[in-house]
Amino acid sequence: MYKPLPIGVESFKELITQGYYYVDKTLFIKELIDKRGKVNLFTRPRRFGKTLNLSMLRYFFEKQESQAENEINKSLFQDLAIAKCGSKYLSHMGNYCVIHLSLKSAKQPDFERAFLMLKRQIADEFRRHRYLLEKGNWQEDDRHRYIIMMNETADDSQYLDAIAFLSRILNELLDQKVIILIDEYDVPLENAYFSGFYEEMSSFIRSLFESALKTNPHLEFAIITGCLRITNDFRGSHLESIFTGLNNLNIISILNESYGEYFGFLQEEVKAMLQFYNRENCTDIVKQWYDGYFFGNSEVYNPWSMVNYMDRLVSNENAIPSPFWANTSSNSIVKSLVEHADISVKGELESLIEGHSIEKPVHEDITYADIFNSEDNLWNFLFFTGYLKQIGRRLEGDIQYMELAIPNLEVRYIYKNTILSWFDEMLNGKDLSSLYNAIETGNTHTMEEIISEYLQETISFYDYAENYYHGFLAGLLKNMRKYRVISNRESGTGRPDIILKTPSVRGRAIVFELKAADRYTNLERFCDKALEQIKNNHYQASLEEEGYSMIDSYGISFYRKECMVKRI
């Protein structure tokens, strides 16, 4: 029976009851119960199933007000892996109060609006538990505070310990321990740092967390998710980490061996999905595009991209892969790396894009303030947020080193696209009149110097194939305003690589034929081959037939970041 793909479905209950395809991650529950971590921080890249997993935990552990609702929640798990694990685990089902918050709405331009959205999220959770107001045994002060917090009319200071307050009320009135689930904890902090109000936001988040998670007698356990473990971002100031004092904090990053298989799809899970939709013939292409992440000992696929591409494959088995994950973010961190890259970093980026690896020391304690101050921090930021994968690790003294590579073709696309956009922006601010004048006057020496200079500045990919140089030169020429730039990337068509033509045939036409040399010493030979091709294919003759009489032709050969230009 066909099942729809759960694109954008973040509610576990909706996913199961509406019959969506589900990759069973319920053994996550078993491992949590077995390990008994008190406060657990899971850091994973965006769109790797964190939100859905928290929703799953809520529906498993939370006790509902009515028996009918409890039975509905139990039915969600009846055919899943956790249901086969026995009473040791199933006895926990529907046995706790749950506080469930997402902090992602706090991505706002200033503290006032961000704080307002956080208060609204907290108030929503109070409203979700409004049935408590029907219970007896209330202290009048507590009841009043609950109502004004639910109605968003409480003083700002009362939200500093809102989660702790709600956990106490739940435990006291229902006599059940509380599980706290907090999703995307780092969104308000990252946004606040880059928007200029980090001190205010981190102070609030620290108070909110410390009161709820440190020595809270009403707490059974807590799960916090985000992309990064954030430490003190203002070294030497009075500010502390938001996790200061949480001695019971268990941090599970992508380097940890525990829980690796519960975020992202395993190879066998992808295989089962392809079989279910009768698309086993697409195994290789999905592996090339969406596999390649290593969380602990588990190799995983990007779940967001897999689900989106699978949805297309169901309709068309020849569907072309797309960079779905790339489109869920501005990918500003990659852009920052490219913009700040010195010669060394550019060389490392080129090596990565060519499929090689680089080695960097591990820094798990990421700080926003140091991202651009430390090249190593930038590489680590890219690793922990999913733009690089670990393919090896070694210990030298007390320092761990990671061997890093680009995970797959989707992420490679992000780097390439970012570099192309950066190159276009860079050229828009450059005065290329000297190059354009050299082209029109036939000054090949100046052309060589300027083209080589820009080759040195940019970041190369395509393994230095002709296609790369074609795009590079077309980018340099695009602002020759009085010419129409005709670019022909397909080889073997009998047409020149690039032609510049004035709108009027009484103006000028310029032909460019490009060759990528196999070694530096062969630059001249390949340049001559380009000129030979222009002559043999009669490129000038075809332009003469159009009516052009002023025609220039250039052969250009490239080897890595060097070039040679000759003119007929």
Per residue of the chain (568 residues), give pLDDT as tens. 899 999 999 999 999 999 999 999 999 999 999 999 999 999 999 999 999 999 999 999 999 999 999 999 999 999 999 999 999 999 999 999 999 999 999 999 999 999 999 999 999 999 999 999 999 889 999 999 999 999 999 999 999 999 999 999 999 999 999 999 999 999 999 899 889 999 999 999 999 999 999 999 999 999 999 998 876 544 434 345 788 778 789 999 999 999 999 999 999 999 999 999 999 999 999 999 999 999 999 999 999 999 999 999 999 999 999 999 988 887 888 888 888 888 899 999 999 999 999 999 998 877 676 677 778 888 998 999 999 999 999 999 999 999 999 999 999 999 999 998 998 888 888 999 999 999 999 999 999 999 999 999 999 876 668 889 999 999 999 999 999 999 985 544 578 999 999 999 999 999 999 999 999 999 999 999 999 999 999 999 989 999 999 999 999 999 999 999 999 9
37 and 118 inside one domain: yes
315 and 337 inside one domain: no
At residue 490, the pLDDT reads 56
Tens of pLDDT, residue by residue over 203-260, are 999 999 999 999 999 999 999 999 988 765 444 343 457 887 787 899 999 999 999 9
Residue 396 lies inside a defined structural domain of this protein: yes
282 and 349 inside one domain: no
pTM of the model: 0.90
Helix axes 283-290, 267-276, angle to 10 degrees: 140
String of DSSP letters for 168-237: HHHHHHH---EEEEEE-TTHHHHHHHHHT-HHHHHHHHHHHHHHHHSS-TTEEEEEEEES--B--SSTTS
Establish how many alpha carbons lie within 13 A of residue 96's alpha carbon, considering only the half-sphere containing its beta carbon: 23
CATH of the domain at 180: 3.40.50
293 by DSSP, 3-state: which? strand
Q: Which of 211, 230, 249 is the last residue of a domain?
A: 230
26 and 163 inside one domain: yes
The DSSP H or E segment spanning 567 is strand 562-567
Q: Considering its fold, how many domains does the chain have in total?
A: 4
Residue 422 lies inside a defined structural domain of this protein: no
At residue 461, the pLDDT reads 79
553 and 503 inside one domain: yes
323 and 466 inside one domain: no
Residue 280 lies inside a defined structural domain of this protein: yes
Distance (Å, rounded) from C-alpha 419 to C-alpha 397? 36
66 and 198 inside one domain: yes
Q: Which of 292, 327, 362 is the last residue of a domain?
A: 327
At residue 234, the pLDDT reads 45
Residue 359 lies inside a defined structural domain of this protein: yes
Distance (Å, rounded) from C-alpha 212 to C-alpha 367? 24
397 and 296 inside one domain: no
Residue 158 lies inside a defined structural domain of this protein: yes
Distance (Å, rounded) from C-alpha 385 to C-alpha 363? 13
369 and 498 inside one domain: no
460 and 367 inside one domain: no
Residue 529 lies inside a defined structural domain of this protein: yes
Distance (Å, rounded) from C-alpha 260 to C-alpha 257? 6
- Nearest to 480, CA basis, from 453, 447, 448, 455: 447
At residue 462, the pLDDT reads 61
Q: Which of 312, 327, 342 is the last residue of a domain?
A: 327
- Nearest to 457, CA basis, from 336, 356, 339: 339
Find the domain containing 291 and state its range.
264-327
At residue 201, the pLDDT reads 94
Residue 256 lies inside a defined structural domain of this protein: no
Tens of pLDDT, residue by residue over 52-101, are 999 999 999 999 999 999 999 999 999 999 999 999 999 999 999 999 99
336 and 297 inside one domain: no
Number of Cβ atoms within 10 Å of the Cβ of 19: 12
507 and 539 inside one domain: yes
Residue 235 lies inside a defined structural domain of this protein: no
Rounding to the nearest 10 degrees, give the CA dihedral for residues 390, 327, 355, 398: -20
